[in-house]
């Protein structure tokens, strides 16, 4: 049996940070399970986050009006992408599991990680207009977010000061990971480690280690299947009328994003399982 491969995309400036400790736990546990573990340490790599013309080698198809998505798609087909993007593509190809480890910045990922998504998730590699949410190259791969917050868990409740964490996660998990076709595992959230005593931080890491032991057996998060939508320009890529009619019976919306004016499905972006 071929050795399994995991990729950890790590975005923290401090090698002594809690996020670095969470990364190290994942590396240790996955290696103990027989994985080959690759780590893209973005700050250590000095990964360039800006998506620019420098990502394309050689001449541009349309030098008078630079369109990043079209130019990098063509460069991918012609083997003219910059070397750092190609290297990250190869890691994704080899990996069955991808973990993104980072601190939550401004309700999102750090800029260097956003740049990784912008540059590495190249059109026709990670997605195409014909394969939105259904990329066959990624459908067997699992991906997940593992991150720390500055605020406590109660502040990210639906009635909390910062609002529902499920809403925060929707653009990242649906708009990037699910959009690119990954099976998205529930996030690993470390709430406020910087304001927690050492024993609590240790407990967080041990909980992460325990979860990793059965991670690949977990059920992925639930998203609205493409079959529910009329995927035509005439219909505007909207839910089919019969689906909307059927949804009237339900107390909650379909997903955090497809709430249909109803209450959000509880824990839709934080726990696997069907809508209640």
What letter would DSSP give residue 254? S
93 CB-near residues (< 8 Å, 6+ apart): none
Q: Which two tokens stand for residue 50?
A: 């800006």
Give me the residue label for tokens 């003219």: 80
CATH number at residue 115: 3.40.50.360
* Whole-angstrom distance, CA of residue 120 vs CA of residue 223: 23
pTM of the model: 0.95
User: What SS3 class is residue 142?
Assistant: strand
State whether 59 and 90 are in the same domain.
yes
State whether 213 and 243 are in the same domain.
no
State whether 20 and 149 are in the same domain.
yes
pLDDT in tens for each of the 276 residues of the chain? 689 999 999 999 999 999 999 999 999 999 999 999 999 999 999 999 999 999 999 999 999 999 999 999 999 999 999 999 999 999 999 999 999 999 999 999 999 999 999 999 999 999 988 889 988 999 999 999 999 999 999 999 999 999 999 999 999 999 999 999 999 999 999 999 999 999 999 999 999 999 999 999 999 999 999 999 998 888 889 999 999 999 999 999 999 999 999 999 999 999 986 544
Which of 223, 210, 219 has its CA nearest to residue 257?
Answer: 223
* Whole-angstrom distance, CA of residue 141 vs CA of residue 116: 18
State whether 99 and 134 are in the same domain.
yes
Q: Which domain-ending residue is among 203, 219, 235?
A: 219
User: Number of structural domains, the chain?
Assistant: 2
Which of 101, 99, 100, 90 has its CA nearest to residue 21?
Answer: 101
State whether 226 and 205 are in the same domain.
no
Q: Which domain holds residue 264?
A: 222-276
State whether 26 and 77 are in the same domain.
yes
State whether 34 and 117 are in the same domain.
yes
């Amino acid at each position: 049996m071929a050795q399994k491969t995991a990729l950890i995309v790590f975005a923290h400036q401090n090698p002594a940070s809690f996020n670095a400790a969470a990364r190290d736990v994942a590396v240790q546990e996955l290696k103990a399970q027989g994985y080959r573990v690759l780590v893209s340490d973005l700050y250590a790599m000095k990964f360039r986050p800006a998506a620019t013309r420098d990502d394309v080698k050689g001449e541009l198809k349309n030098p008078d009006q630079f369109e990043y998505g079209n130019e990098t798609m063509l460069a991918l087909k012609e083997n003219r992408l910059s070397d750092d993007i190609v290297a990250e593509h190869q890691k994704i190809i080899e990996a069955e599991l991808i973990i993104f480890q980072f601190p939550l910045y401004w309700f999102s990922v750090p800029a260097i990680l956003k740049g990784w998504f912008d540059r590495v998730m190249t059109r026709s590699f990670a997605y195409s207009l014909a394969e939105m949410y259904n990329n066959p190259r990624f459908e067997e791969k699992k991906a997940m977010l593992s991150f720390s917050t500055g605020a406590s868990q109660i502040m990210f409740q639906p009635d909390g000061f910062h609002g529902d964490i499920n809403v925060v996660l929707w653009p990242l998990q649906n708009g990037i990971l699910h959009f690119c076709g990954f099976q998205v595992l529930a996030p690993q959230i470390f709430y406020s480690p910087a304001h927690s005593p050492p024993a609590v931080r240790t407990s967080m890491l041990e909980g992460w280690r325990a979860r990793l032991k059965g991670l690949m057996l977990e059920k992925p998060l639930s998203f609205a299947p493409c079959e529910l939508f009329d995927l035509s320009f005439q219909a505007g890529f909207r839910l089919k009328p019969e689906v909307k009619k059927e949804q009237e019976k339900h107390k909650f919306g379909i997903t955090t994003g497809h709430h249909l004016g109803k209450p959000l499905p509880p824990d839709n972006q934080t726990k696997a399982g069907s809508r209640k």
